[in-house]
Amino acid sequence: MSVLTNTHFSFPKQIGVYHGKVRDVYNIANEQLVMIATDRISAFDVVLPKGIPYKGQVLNQIASMFLDATSDICPNWKLASPDPMVSCGILCKAFPLEMIVRGYLCGSAWRAYKSGVREICGVALPDGMRENEKFPTPIITPTTKAEQGEHDADISKAEILERGLATVEEYEKLEQYALALFERGTQMAAQRGLILVDTKYEFGTANGTIYLMDEIHTPDSSRYFYADSYKENFEKGLPQKQLSKEFVREWLMENGFQGKEGQQIPEMTDEIINHISERYIELFEHITGQPFVKDSSDDLSVRIEQNILKYIDTI
């Protein structure tokens, strides 16, 4: 199976390129971005040493579907998707924030809560909650958007405003958009027998307008539970069957890795890689209700470059 872990293209009108943890983003004429979802995978803010077959295609196609399905809620950056692993759209100035919306107490929030923490990002949490318990209403727990190689950090609304990362009016709009997007995602997930547990959104501005950027409701940015088993598993205190990247984090933690200095990334065997790939495809099929069509190109780089060049010719 072909895997794309790095790109080094040089497109007409290209101003620069940013290689993120997972995506390679090309600036075209300071007007548009070409975002390539590679097969890289990260956890604990560390890019793991091997790529996952079809992961980039899964992420891009899910994000593309949700961007189209939520464009009535808020403007988004997407203009086209010329390749299964590529989206192109409006160049925005990003807010240095990730707007994380949580509907349930789990993941890193649960780990903090279990250790005694009762306030996350300025949001007070009640005593007596259990792992995977639903919040009365979704909460927003923002993080800073870290530079490459650095860790995201929790931040409160008050700190965001104090540091000038957004104005009062901008932050209110970000909250409004994030909660509305989460509600739509929750509704769409329910139609497929899934629960949208938590997710993150990134926003930016262009010509005075706030746009939703990057990806939305993918397994890299979101966590899903299966609805049919949630209640029973919760009542019995059993782990939830979930579709997200959390199982990758759990595998790493079981093998002594949490991204801390001096820790060794465990060996990524073919069995582990194939298992992760299958889980990503499983989420695609559950959340879209469509069979996943594996693109079997022998050379992903050649196909992607040709498709992007055709798109750039139309700009």
Q: What is the number of other CB atoms lying within 10 angstroms of the CB of residue 4?
A: 23
Residue 221 identity: S
Q: Which residue spans within 73-133 are E strands per DSSP?
A: 78-83, 86-90, 93-94, 97-104, 119-120, 123-124
Q: What pLDDT, on the 0 to 100 scale, is given for residue 296?
A: 77
Residue ranges of alpha helices (H) inside the chain are: 55-69, 107-114, 157-162, 168-191, 227-236, 246-254, 270-288, 300-312
249-284 tens-digit pLDDT: 889 999 999 999 999 999 999 999 999 999 889 889
308: helix, coil or strand?
helix
- Considering just the CA atoms, what is the radius of gyration of the chain in Å? 19
Where are the chain's structural domains? 94-244
Tokens of 113: 């809560």
pLDDT in tens, 126-173: 999 999 999 999 999 999 986 655 567 999 999 999 999 999 999 999
Helix (H) or strand (E) holding 43: strand 42-43
Task: Give pLDDT tens digits for 166-205.
Answer: 999 999 999 999 999 999 999 999 999 999 999 999 999 9
Range 94-244 has CATH code 2.60.40.790: no
